[in-house]
Structure 1
Amino acid sequence: MAINNLAAAKKAKNDEFYTLYSDIQKEIQAYLDYNPNVFKGKTVLLPCDDPEWSNFTKFFAQNFERFGIKKLISTSYAPNSKPYQIGYQVSIFEESAPQYDSNKTESQGKIYTLERDITEDGRIDVDDLEWNYLKGDGDFRSEEVIKLRDEADIIITNPPFSLFRDFLQWIIEADKQFAIIGNINAIAYQEVFALIAQNKIWLGTGMGRWISGFIVPDTYELYGTEARIDDDGNRIVATNNCLWLTNIEHGKRYQPLKLMTLADNNKFNKKLKKRTAYEKYDNYDAIEVPFTDAIPSDFDGTMGVPITFLDKYNPNQFDIIGIMATTKISEYNFGYPFVNGKKKYARILIKKK
């Protein structure tokens, strides 16, 4: 049910879903494990972030010195510009600040920056965040925020579900490093898959239940056994349909997938019982592999594998040929796969190196 609610949120443009601190920490740590200096001397931008409520700003501010960040910038979108109105609550932090302006708080976005020790306590952390109002509403496509994008080295956030395509293109055209959260279905978007096939972007360290949940507004109805309220009163929904998309290297990306021969899979792989496997597609010269752990080690031709294969994809082990996911034929998309006249689930086409 939580998945259905997220889909409805996209349709209604209710994009107020905040990422859990633990999920941010888990993902970012994977990049640091691979390259401890990934953030050193870098300007990090967190757009679309609503810093007073979001965990992205808190996480990077608390780890500013440990990561060696040069400058942290975080921006928010004006409440009055959001298509889904849920009522705006001014935080104590904002209302008590000398620059607080009741005429601006709902119509203009905010910018938070961190780069110096304003408290003079000998360290730079969350207590040293400085903020002010943006001139505009904080839309990432505005000239004001585009300048911040161009200043940044790395962009990290959970962008609005309804604007994912536009947001990713906004990053790519500026040639920035990034890590963003999106829906698993985004893999099949023509412009997204082309970048994946060209090895310009890839999945982060996990997808589905690897992302443990999102904090949602009080107006969001909680359904199902995986929706909960935590000890701090946050309303959390867990989904199985989101992922991290990035172009920052991490170690999981190079872990080889262990494979059995085709004969051993047929003999020992219990998942293949009563399943169509290794038959040729009617409409493409490739064989059907219904599970990632059923990829045969001794087949050198093209194979159609589940979309979730990308979570195990090692660019040193496989080449991505294309995708069979929609009726639209393009450079990388070859239409839905069929075996003996029966339509199969969407498949990614791969070959062993």
Structure 2
Amino acid sequence: MANKNLTNAKKAKNDEFYTQFIDIQKEIGAYLEYNPDVFRGKVVYCNCDDPFESNFFRYFVLNFKKLGLKQLITTSYKPSPIANTQLGLFGDDKTLPKSKSRPKITANKFIINEVYDMDGDGEFNLKDVALQLKANKHNEWTPLEGNGDFRSEECIELLKQSDIVVTNPPFSLFREYVKQLFDYDKKFLIIGSMNAITYKEIFPLIKENKMWLGNGFHAGNAYFFTPFAKEYGEGVYMPETGLVKFRNVCWFTNLDHGRRHQPLPLMTMEENLKYSKHKEIKGKKAYDKYDNYDAIEVSFTDAIPSDYNGVMGVPISFLDKYNPDQFDIVKFRHGDDNKDLRLKNGTCPYFRVLIRHKKK
């Protein structure tokens, strides 16, 4: 049901999914654990994030000094139905006139060069950011000339100035968005549908280790705020929180993290056939083979045999556990006849990634 709803949202170009602060914090924490200086001296660009409503802006501005950022750039998209309403950046400060300080329909650009405790209360928080922006001290808050589309000339100029892009881009424009990142040779950490792995424009990047999956959402569940939450069915819309839950959403990145290099613990082929927890494998005499490619079918990632040296077809969810030090990706989905991989009994398993153990 969740997969169907996400697909429908994509087709309808309903791209209003807002990421939780805790998910951003946990994900970025994985990169900092692997390399504490990954953001130090860098310009971070969040180019699909209204500063008023984005938890990406909130995270980076509150951790500006801790991360050692050189600059934070954030731009918004004008047609957002909740523009300037979620974060309440200025609304909590009674000294700032709301009617003048919160543009309602313009796309905005925030550039943060410096953060400090401006009101003298002993701590730095969003109120200090609001005061600095209002006073225009070392930072910039201005409307964009256009609507904030990431493909616009003014947004591309900001992209050129950046080192790392971090955001939740429109699902419906994911191919185009990723292409732009590679066209301008940017480091990135973005959210997208797991199904994007199957796109002909995306899989080659993963195969060539130019792009990979991030650390991931807790228990594989991604929760988002959306103004259209109630339009989703039971199991997706969570009335107790007002959030929607998707299981086939993941982080994509070209920043390294530790989990990417953790070896996947495996049993031998003989052990799998005897002790596997999967009834489809336990008790069989051998793994199934494809009719149109020289490889075995492995329906579950944890059933990959540790001692098989040939090619194996695994589910795309394997990529969440993919360790480039342990495996090589051979190809995707198709057999020698350029048709979907087909078992001896004529059935075609859903989209398989063909892999082999890396030669030592």
Q: Same fold by TM (over 0.5)? A: yes
Query: TM-score band (shorter)?
Result: 0.7 to 0.9
Q: Which residue of 2 aligns with 1:70?
A: 70
Distance in 1 between the 2:266 and 2:154 partners?
50
The amino acid of 1:109's aligned partner reads: A
Describe how 1:89-104 pairs up with structure 2 within 5 A: 93=90, 96=98, 98=100
Structure 2 residue aligned with 1:237, among 225, 244, 265? Answer: 244
Is the 1:2–1:227 Cα contact (8 Å) retained in structure 2? no
Cα displacement string for residues 78-131 of structure 1 (whole angstroms, at most 9, x for unaligned residues): 12xx6xxx5767687387275666xxx42x411112112476348765332532
The alignment's TM-score, normalised by the length of structure 1, stands at 0.87
Aligned to 1:128: 129
- 1:203 deviation in Å? 0.3
Q: Distance in 2 between matches of 1:304 and 1:98?
A: 59
Q: What percentage of residue pairs aligned between the two structures are identical?
A: 47
Compute the displacement of 1:4 (Å): 2.7
Matches within 5 A, 1:252-267: 252-267=259-274
Per mean C-alpha deviation after superposition, the further-off stretch among 125-134 and 242-251 is: 125-134
SS across alignment from 1:321: strand
CA RMSD, 1 decimal = 2.6
CA gap 1:2/1:302 in 2 versus in 1, 3 angstroms: closer
Q: Which residue of 2 aligns with 1:338?
A: 342
Kindly indicate whether residue 332 of structure 2 is the aligned counterpart of residue 323 of structure 1.
Answer: yes
How far apart in 2 are the matches of 1:7 and 1:47?
23
Aligned match of 2:109: 111
Who is 1:307 aligned against?
Answer: 316
- Counterpart position of 2:138: none
For 1:87 and 1:236, the matched residues in 2 are separated by 15
Counterpart code for 1:194:
P
The corresponding residue for 1:180 is 190
Partner of 2:94: none
241-250 vs 282-291, which moves further: 282-291
Bigger shift: 86-95 or 125-134? 86-95
- Residues 207 and 311 of structure 1 are in contact (CA less than 8 Å); yes or no, is this contact kept in structure 2? no
Is contact 2:272-2:281 (8 Å) kept?
Answer: no
Q: How does 1:265-276 map to 2 (within 5 A)?
A: 265-273=272-280
Paired residue for 2:289, among 244, 263, 280?
Answer: 280
8 Å CA contact 2:288, 2:343 repeated in 1: yes
Q: Which amino acid aligns with 1:339?
A: L
> Is 1:61 aligned to residue 61 of structure 2?
yes
Gapped runs of 5+ residues in structure 1?
none
CA contact (8 A) 1:2 1:238 kept: yes
Q: What runs of 5+ residues in structure 2 fail to find an aligned partner?
A: 92-96, 134-140
Give aligned pairs, total. 336
Q: Deviations over 1:161-190 (max 9, x none)?
A: 110101111111111110000001000111
SS at 1:52's partner residue?
Answer: coil
Q: How big is each residue's C-alpha offset from its partner over 1:313-333, in whole Å with a ceiling of 9 and x where there is no partner?
A: 1101100011106x9x9xxx9
The answer to whether residue 223 in structure 2 is matched with residue 216 in structure 1 is no
Give the AA of the match of 2:255: I
How many Å apart are 1:132 and its aligned residue? Answer: 1.5
Deviates more, 1:116-125 or 1:221-230: 116-125
Per the alignment, residue 35 of structure 1 pairs with 35
SS in structure 2 of the partner of residue 66 of structure 1: helix
| 1:211–1:147 distance in 2 versus 1, CA, 3 Å | farther
Deviates more, 1:143-152 or 1:202-211: 202-211
State whether residues 315 and 352 of structure 2, in contact with CA within 8 Å, keep that contact through their aligned partners in structure 1: yes
1:65–1:125 contact (8 Å) kept in structure 2: no
- 1:23-49 CA distance string (max 9 Å, x none): 111100000000011111111000111
- Residue 144 of structure 1 corresponds to 154
